[in-house]
């Protein structure tokens, strides 16, 4: 292993994803000096893996996999640690014509039993014929492997130690499946999103050329994002390789404990491109540190993976302005795994742009009417940029008719980056992807001067007496107005009871006395009534009790299921019922 990280400069003429396949992209990148650098959670370099080394090792792995009896098109489940072994095995699958399916580590599943059940569902959905389990959870291998009969079920070390095999590798075509991506919310009914070489490369090319506008020289990526989620896998593993960029990788599982290591690595290695959901910026802004950073190199501080909270970004920019951070580096974007990753990017070097609207008009009429009247309830949204070239987007009403600017409807997108479909699930694919190639994203939003504005998920919308209420409005209100509450402390959803809907808020409570808990219940109930004019049943739950997806997003659906299953019965009585 090398003692120093791979350099930012590859020494090659920069090519921005203009390859037919990811193997062709690695073949080219291997002629240069850039690569992946694997760091510990404390920021120590563990491995410098040049693309030249990766290509050689991945081709060796490809032959080992084929020697196990795996055949072209077979799926290989890889529990994805952010390390060199994942890179070797993922690209070994690419060269072998196999289809890797990255699976999550047990970061957000609330216990071993639930995690393994989730894995079993994903492995079955993929029809995997091999499963690779990192040594971090190696003791669970036999239980994970109980999901089926496999040609291989073991650790990366065991796989890599298999004897070399003299097997010819297949030609990889652009219509071949590249990988399966399980979206971060697909735990109860997991659906593997099938991404072809062609669609994956189309998105990588659009991200690099049009979204990030990767430069001929000087760009370097830094990431702590999970490689089992589209933003980490595509944004900071595949796309950088397709344009010969070096990437410094931190382990996702340690980020929450030491978030400032992310900033230190950007500062130390002069990283220019790095992304995070809003909560990553919040952790860095909220936690004090005596460390000093120079963030003047950071030209693209991207935000994605969840609804963007502009106030968190403002706090981060203010906190790190003295460290050289320029708020104009913020880049809002929008995408989803079904589109490989990205659909839109805000203009570079312009920071966050917002639109403040009258909340009552939004809820009652579905119109985002601009307003700054302090006597009205207001809601501020972040503009997520224009659709990437060669892609299209429309906001449609329930009858499928396109809507004009500022009218809220469902977002549909079309373009070369879209998935082939949900693997082995034709009916589910047909439900969201029509014969003309339009994808129903399931997101609600509106268009404004050519930019996409997302207001929430259609499945989360609460409808009370003809009024459309976005749960995140209530969640963010409580977290902002009530002292002691933090981001992702509140989960709001509705319950159908007889002929009416009841709004419920699960709130993580850190108070240790009955008086403190009752005060929190009363204050949040009053905030909901005062600010939003709704009665909400408030249920207090212990810290860290609310479930998250594998990418760190709050999952309301699972929180609701846990409540209905009695998981929070001991949390205390509700404070108010719906009117």
Same domain, 70 and 217: yes
Same domain, 389 and 525: no
Measured distance CA(12)–CA(28) in Å, rounded: 9
Q: 74: how many CB neighbours lie within 10 A of its CB?
A: 21
Same domain, 418 and 498: no
pLDDT number for residue 567: 86
* pLDDT of 455 higher than 80: yes
Among 393, 76, 481, 34, which residue's Cα sits nearest to residue 241? 34
Q: In CATH, what number is assigned to the domain containing residue 530?
A: 3.30.300.30
pLDDT number for residue 512: 87
Sole residue written with tokens 């760009």: 219
Q: Which residues pair with 452 in a beta bridge?
A: 447
Please state, rounded to an integer, the average pLDDT across all residues of the chain: 92
Same domain, 443 and 487: no
Measured distance CA(192)–CA(196) in Å, rounded: 12
Same domain, 430 and 480: no
Measured distance CA(235)–CA(220) in Å, rounded: 13
pLDDT number for residue 188: 59
Same domain, 405 and 471: no
* CA 319 remoteness from chain centre: 25
Last residue within a domain, chosen from 223, 240, 258 = 258
* pLDDT of 452 higher than 80: yes
Same domain, 416 and 510: no
* pLDDT of 75 higher than 60: yes
Measured distance CA(305)–CA(282) in Å, rounded: 14
Among 230, 285, 331, 250, which residue's Cα sits nearest to residue 553? 230
Measured distance CA(108)–CA(115) in Å, rounded: 8
Measured distance CA(290)–CA(428) in Å, rounded: 51
Measured distance CA(35)–CA(30) in Å, rounded: 8
* pLDDT of 325 higher than 60: yes
Query: Which residues neighbour 312 within 8 Å (Cβ) at sequence distance 6 or greater?
Result: 278, 279, 281, 282, 285, 487
User: Could you please report the per-residue DSSP string of 110-129?
Assistant: SSHHHHHHHHHHHHHHHT-S
Antiparallel, parallel or unpaired: β 247-249 and 35-39:
parallel
- Reported as a single tens digit per residue, the pLDDT across 359-411 is 999 999 999 999 999 888 899 999 999 999 999 999 999 999 999 999 999 99
Q: In CATH, what number is assigned to the domain containing residue 354?
A: 2.30.38.10
- Residue at 3 is within a domain: no
- Residue at 392 is within a domain: yes
> How much of the chain exceeds pLDDT 90, in percent?
79
- Residue at 483 is within a domain: yes
DSSP label of 235: I
- Residue at 7 is within a domain: no
Q: Where are the alpha helices (DSSP H) in 211-298?
A: 230-233, 239-242, 260-269, 278-286
- Residue at 109 is within a domain: yes
Same domain, 390 and 443: yes
- Reported as a single tens digit per residue, the pLDDT across 506-565 is 999 998 899 999 999 999 999 999 988 899 999 999 998 898 775 667 888 888 888 888
- Is residue 212 within 8 Å of residue 275, measured between CB atoms? no
pLDDT number for residue 578: 30
Sole residue written with tokens 């709050």: 554
pLDDT number for residue 562: 87
Measured distance CA(285)–CA(398) in Å, rounded: 41
- Is residue 191 within 8 Å of residue 425, measured between CB atoms? yes
Among 92, 94, 66, which residue's Cα sits nearest to residue 172? 94
Query: Which residues neighbour 135 within 8 Å (Cβ) at sequence distance 6 or greater?
Result: 155, 156, 157
The full 3-state SS of 183-234, as one line of letters, equals CCCCCCCCCEEEEEHHHHHHHHHHHHHHHCCCCCCCCCEEECCCCCCHHHHH
User: Could you please report the per-residue DSSP string of 34-91?
Assistant: -EEEEE-TTS-EEEEEEHHHHHHHHHHHHHHHHHTT--TT-EEEEE--SSHHHHHHHH
pLDDT number for residue 574: 38
Measured distance CA(307)–CA(238) in Å, rounded: 24
> How much of the chain exceeds pLDDT 70, in percent?
95
pTM of the model: 0.90
Same domain, 501 and 452: no
User: What is the arithmetic mean of pLDDT over 38-52?
Assistant: 97
Query: Which residues neighbour 46 within 8 Å (Cβ) at sequence distance 6 or greater?
Result: 1, 38, 39, 40, 83
Last residue within a domain, chosen from 459, 484, 499 = 459
Measured distance CA(287)–CA(270) in Å, rounded: 22
Last residue within a domain, chosen from 234, 258, 282 = 258
Same domain, 417 and 508: no
- Reported as a single tens digit per residue, the pLDDT across 467-497 is 889 898 899 899 989 988 988 899 999 888 7
Residue 218 backbone phi and psi in degrees, to 5: 100, -15
Count up the domains in the chain and report the number: 3
* pLDDT of 569 higher than 70: no
- Reported as a single tens digit per residue, the pLDDT across 165-183 is 999 999 999 999 999 999 7
Q: What are 341's two structure tokens?
A: 């990753």
Sole residue written with tokens 């650098």: 37
Same domain, 454 and 465: no
Q: By mean pLDDT, which of 37-41, 295-299, 420-424, 490-494 is the weakest?
A: 490-494
- Say how many residues make up the chain: 579
What residue numbers bound the domain in which 117 lies? 22-258
pLDDT-derived band at 575, boundaries 50, 70, 90: very low
pLDDT-derived band at 213, boundaries 50, 70, 90: very high
2 vs 94, higher pLDDT: 94
Residue 222 half-sphere exposure toward CB, CA atoms < 13 A: 25
- Residue at 432 is within a domain: yes
* pLDDT of 571 higher than 70: no
Measured distance CA(197)–CA(376) in Å, rounded: 50
DSSP element (H, E) containing 538: strand 537-541
- Residue at 13 is within a domain: no
Q: Which residues pair with 303 in a beta bridge?
A: 276, 332
Same domain, 414 and 510: no
- Reported as a single tens digit per residue, the pLDDT across 231-267 is 999 999 999 999 999 999 999 989 989 999 999 999 9
* CA 455 remoteness from chain centre: 17
- Residue at 438 is within a domain: yes
pLDDT-derived band at 501, boundaries 50, 70, 90: confident
- Reported as a single tens digit per residue, the pLDDT across 127-167 is 999 999 999 999 999 999 999 999 999 999 999 999 999 99
Q: In CATH, what number is assigned to the domain containing residue 43?
A: 3.40.50.12780
pLDDT number for residue 487: 86
């Amino acid at each position: 292993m090398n003692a120093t990280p791979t350099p930012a400069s590859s020494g090659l003429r920069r090519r921005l994803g203009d390859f037919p396949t990811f193997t062709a992209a690695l073949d080219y990148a291997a002629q240069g000096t850039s690569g992946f650098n694997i760091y510990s959670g404390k920021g120590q370099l563990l491995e410098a893996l040049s693309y030249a080394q990766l290509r050689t090792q991945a081709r060796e792995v490809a032959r080992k996999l084929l020697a196990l009896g795996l055949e072209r098109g077979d799926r290989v489940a890889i529990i994805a640690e952010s390390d060199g072994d994942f890179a070797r095995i993922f690209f070994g699958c690419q060269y072998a014509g196999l289809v890797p399916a990255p699976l999550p580590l047990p970061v957000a599943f609330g216990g071993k039993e639930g995690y393994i059940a989730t894995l079993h569902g994903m492995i079955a959905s993929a029809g995997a014929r091999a499963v690779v389990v990192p040594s971090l959870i190696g003791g669970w291998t036999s239980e994970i492997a109980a999901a089926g009969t496999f040609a291989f079920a073991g650790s990366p070390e065991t796989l890599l130690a298999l004897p070399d095999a003299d097997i010819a590798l297949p030609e990889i075509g652009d219509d071949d499946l590249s990988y399966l991506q399980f979206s971060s919310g697909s735990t109860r009914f997991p659906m593997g999103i099938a991404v072809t070489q062609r669609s994956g490369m189309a998105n990588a090319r659009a991200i690099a050329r049009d979204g990030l506008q990767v430069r001929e020289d000087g760009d370097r990526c830094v990431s702590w994002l999970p490689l089992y989620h589209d933003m980490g896998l595509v944004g900071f593993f595949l796309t950088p390789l397709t344009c010969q960029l070096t990437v410094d990788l931190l382990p996702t599982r340690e980020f929450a404990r030491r978030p400032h290591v992310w900033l230190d690595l950007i500062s130390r290695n002069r990283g220019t491109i790095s992304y995070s959901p809003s909560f990553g910026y919040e952790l860095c802004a909220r936690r004090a540190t005596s460390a000093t950073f120079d963030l003047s190199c950071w030209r693209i501080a991207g935000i994605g993976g969840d609804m963007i909270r502009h106030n968190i970004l403002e706090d981060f920019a203010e906190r790190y302005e003295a460290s050289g951070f320029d708020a104009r580096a913020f880049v809002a974007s929008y995408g989803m795994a079904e589109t490989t990753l990205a659909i839109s990017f805000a203009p570079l070097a312009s920071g966050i742009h917002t639109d403040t609207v009258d909340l009552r008009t939004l809820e009652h009429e579905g119109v985002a009417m601009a307003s700054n009247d302090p006597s009205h309830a207001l809601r501020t949204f972040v503009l997520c940029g224009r659709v990437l070239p060669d892609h299209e987007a429309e906001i449609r009403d329930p009858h499928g008719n396109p809507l004009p600017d500022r009218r809220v409807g469902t977002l549909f997108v079309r373009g070369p980056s879209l998935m082939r479909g949900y693997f082995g699930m034709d009916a589910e694919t047909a439900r969201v992807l029509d014969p003309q190639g339009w994808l129903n994203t399931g997101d609600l939003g509106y268009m404004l001067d050519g930019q996409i504005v997302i207001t929430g998920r259609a499945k989360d919308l609460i409808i009370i007496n003809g009024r459309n209420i976005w749960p995140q409005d209530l969640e963010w209100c409580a977290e902002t107005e009530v002292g002691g509450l933090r981001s992702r402390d509140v989960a709001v959803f509705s319950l159908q009871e007889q002929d009416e809907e009841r709004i419920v808020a699960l709130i993580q409570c850190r108070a240790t006395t009955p008086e403190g808990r009752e005060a929190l219940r009363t204050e949040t109930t009053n905030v909901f009534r005062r600010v939003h004019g709704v009665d909400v049943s408030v249920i207090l739950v212990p810290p860290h009790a609310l479930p998250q997806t594998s990418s760190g997003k709050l999952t309301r659906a699972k929180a609701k299921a846990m409540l209905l299953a009695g998981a929070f019965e001991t949390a205390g009585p509700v404070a108010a019922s719906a009117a």
